[in-house]
A and B are shown apart, each in its own frame.
Chain A
Amino acid sequence: MLDKNGIAKRIAKEVKDGYYVNLGIGIPTLVANFVRDDISVEFQSENGVLGMGPFPYEGEEDADIINAGKQTITTLPGASFFDSVTSFGMIRGQHVDLTILGAMEVSENGDIANWKIPGKMVKGMGGAMDLVASAENIIVAMMHTNREGESKLLRKCTLPLTGVGCVKKIVTNLAVLEVTPEGFRLLERAPGISIDEIKKATEGTLIVRGDIPEMAI
Chain B
Amino acid sequence: MIQKTVDDVSEALQGVEDGMTFMLGGFGLCGIPENAIAELVHLEVKDITCISNNAGVDDFGLGLLLQKRQIKKMISSYVGENDEFERQMLSGELEVELTPQGTLAEKCRAAKAGFPAFYTPAGYGTEVAEGKETREFNGKMYVLEHAFKADYAFVKAWKGDEAGNLIFKGTARNFNPCMCGAAKITVAEVEELVPAGELNPNEIHIPGIFVQRIFQGKNYEKRIEQRTVRQKI
A residues with CB within 8 A of B: 45-49, 54-73, 81-85, 87-88, 91-92, 111, 122-130, 133-134, 160-165
**Cβ < 8 Å to A, chain B residues 83-126:** 86, 89, 96, 98, 100-106, 108-109, 120-126
Contacts of A65 in B (CB 8 A): 170-171
Residues of chain A with a CB closer than 8 A to B102's CB: 46, 84, 87-88, 91-92, 127, 129-130
Contacts of A83 in B (CB 8 A): 105, 168, 173-178, 205
| B29, B81, B125, B126, most chain A CB atoms within 10 A | B126
B124 in contact with A123 (CB, 8 Å): no
Q: Is B169 an interface residue (CB 8 A)?
A: yes
Neighbour of A56 across the interface among B108, B171, B225, B229, CB < 8 A: B229
B: contact size bracket: 35 or more
Which residues of B line the A interface, CB within 8 A? 27-31, 53, 76-81, 86, 89, 96, 98, 100-106, 108-109, 120-128, 158, 168-178, 205, 222-232
Asked whether, in the complex, the Cβ of A133 is within 8 Å of the Cβ of B121, the reply is yes
A94–chain B nearest beta-carbon distance, Å: 10
Q: Per DSSP, are chain A's interface residues mostly helix, strand or loop, or mixed? A: loop
Set of chain A residues within 8 Å of B222, measured between Cβ atoms: 63-64
Query: Lowest 5 A-B CB distances belong to which pairs?
Result: A88-B102, A130-B102, A164-B125, A123-B80, A64-B170
Q: Which of A60, A69, A87, A126 has the most CB of B within 10 A?
A: A126
Knowing A124-B80, A160-B126, A164-B126 are in contact, say whether A70-B174 is a contact too (CB < 8 A). no
A61 touches B227 (CB 8 A): yes
Q: What residues of A have a CB within 8 angstroms of the CB of B128 in the complex?
A: 125, 129
Return the contact of A126 from the options B78, B121, B226 (Cβ within 8 A). Answer: B78
Q: Is the CB of A63 within 8 A of B223?
A: yes
Check A130–B228 contact: CB distance below 8 A: no
Question: Are the CB atoms of A133 and B226 closer together than 8 Å?
Answer: no
Q: Distance in Å from the Cβ of A122 to the closest Cβ of chain B?
A: 7
